[in-house]
Structure 1
Amino acid sequence: MSIILVTGPARSGKSEWAESLATKSSKSVIYLATAQVDSSDREWVKRIAQHKSRRPQSWQTCEVPHLGLIEAIANAPVSSCLLIDSLGTWVANLLAEDDVSWQESMQSLLLTLQQVQAQDVILVAEETGWGVVPAYPSGRVFRDRLGNLVRRIGAIAQAVYLVTGGYALNLTSLGTPLNQRLNNS
């Protein structure tokens, strides 16, 4: 089993890089989409359509916007490659959870990833903490939850890529891991 994390800023090419990794796996790909479709948001619908147009017809797509993501990961076939796009959207979908419920959801996801039967799991995550501190509490909660989740997944991943400026950097081979004892903050 291999966990691969692909992270980067908006429109950097992270989803495309993750898709290329899934294609190279030569396994049956299951695309787990965390987005909730809102037909009244034309820009969002267009964004989702762009992602769909790049995917091979042979890929199975499952929409799992909430805790269904954890169940889909747990029930994935052994011979599959899971492509989860994206963690930022998943965190946003669960933003209304209180801190205790969020910690339980995050721990459940991390435990499921460590026990998954699928041969490859590729996760896409946005980097949100490189800008100004959000002015509103919900923005700060989102940024902090996503940053913590990405760091925790990075600690269990066999490979972590940063995609920016149209380039993918393998942080696993270029970087030095931090002390991975993480608190629940």
Structure 2
Amino acid sequence: MVKRIILVTGPARSGKSEWAELLAEQSGKPVIYLATSHLDPDDPEWQGRIDRHRKRRLASWTTQEVPLELSAAILQETTSGNACCLLVDSLGTWVANLLAEDDPTWGAILEELIESLRGVKEGTVIFVAEETGWGVVPAYPMGRSFRDRLGDLVRRLGAIADPVYLVTGGHAVNLSAIGSVLPPSKTLED
């Protein structure tokens, strides 16, 4: 039994979702797309984004909408004895869905996700994550909380994923091949 965790990260509109979809297709395994977004029929622009993602997916792929219970979905699909490829798109949306949770609750949810990955028996899990900390510090508390939570999550996943890709400017760079994993963060202030 072989398990593989892959992280694809980068800025908005960089091509990270398309790169992750190509990796999923190339895995040779049945693909289950775990969509973390909430559908909002009152937001046509958001619906348009979701529709563009849907149109790119292969007809053979299964899609599950998992806006909150990501850890449970990962465990359910990866411990069933089927060697599948899970494509989680996106972690930024998932973090945003849970932003109202207080810090201790969020910490428990994050640990549950990391623990669910330790429980993966076989198959591939590909995560798509936005890089949000490359700009100014947000001027409002919720924005800072989002940036910090997503940054911490991406760093934690990057420490256990192999490979980790950075997609920017329409190019995918394998950071695992050219970089070194940092030791675990001592604080969330990094």
Q: Shared fold (TM-score greater than 0.5)?
A: yes
Q: Report percent identity of matched pairs.
A: 61
CA distance in 2, matches of 1:138, 1:35: 19
- Give the 3 Å change call, closer, same or farther, for CA 30–86 of structure 1 in structure 2: same
Query: 1:65 aligns to what SS in structure 2?
Result: coil
> 1:74 & 1:178 partners in 2: Cα distance?
27
Separation in structure 1 between the aligned mates of residue 62 and residue 121 of structure 2, nearest angstrom: 17
Compute the displacement of 1:117 (Å): 2.8
Distance 1:183 1:48 in 2: 37
Q: Which residue does 1:56 correspond to in 2?
A: 58
Offset of residue 118 of structure 1: 4.0
Which position in structure 1 is the counterpart of 2:95?
A: 91
Does the alignment pair 1:44 with 2:46? Answer: yes
> Structure 1, residues 33-57: CA drift from partner, whole Å, max 9, x if none?
0000111111100000000000001
Residue identity matched to 2:47 = V
Q: Which residue of 2 aligns with 1:18?
A: 20
137, 152, 173: which one aligns with 1:169: 173
**Distance in structure 2 (CA, Å) of the matches to 1:97 and 1:107:** 14
Partner SS, residue 134 of structure 2: coil
In structure 1, distance between residues paired with 2:66 and 2:28 = 23
Q: Please tell me whether the aligned partners of residues 81 and 118 of structure 1 are also in contact (alpha carbons under 8 angstroms).
A: no
Match of 1:160 among 147, 164, 167: 164
Which runs of no fewer than 5 residues in structure 2 stay unpaired? none
Letter in 2 for 1:74: L
Q: Name the counterpart of 2:124.
A: 120
Q: TM-score, with normalisation over the residues of structure 1?
A: 0.96
Q: What residue number does 1:151 align with?
A: 155
Q: Distance in 2 between matches of 1:72 and 1:135?
A: 34
**Is the 1:82–1:118 contact (alpha carbons within 8 Å) kept by the matching residues of 2?**
no
- Partner letter of residue 97 of structure 1? E
Report the residue type matching 1:154 in the other structure.
G
3-state SS of the aligned residue for 1:75?
helix
**Residue aligning to 2:76:** 75
1:183 offset after TM fit, Å? 3.6
The alignment of Structure 1 onto Structure 2 pairs a total of residues equal to 183
Quote the Cα distance in structure 2 between the aligned partners of 1:33 and 1:25: 19
Show structure 1 runs of 5+ residues with no match: none
Specify the code of the residue in structure 2 equivalent to 1:70. S
Out of 50-59 and 75-84, give the one that drifted further.
75-84
Match of 1:5 in 2: 7
CA contact (8 A) 1:103 1:184 kept: no
d(CA) in 1 for partners of 2:131, 2:4: 22
TM-score, normalised to structure 2, is: 0.94
Distance apart, 1:26 and its partner CA: 0.6
- Amino acid aligned to 1:150: V
Pick from 176, 181, 185: which aligns with 1:182? 185
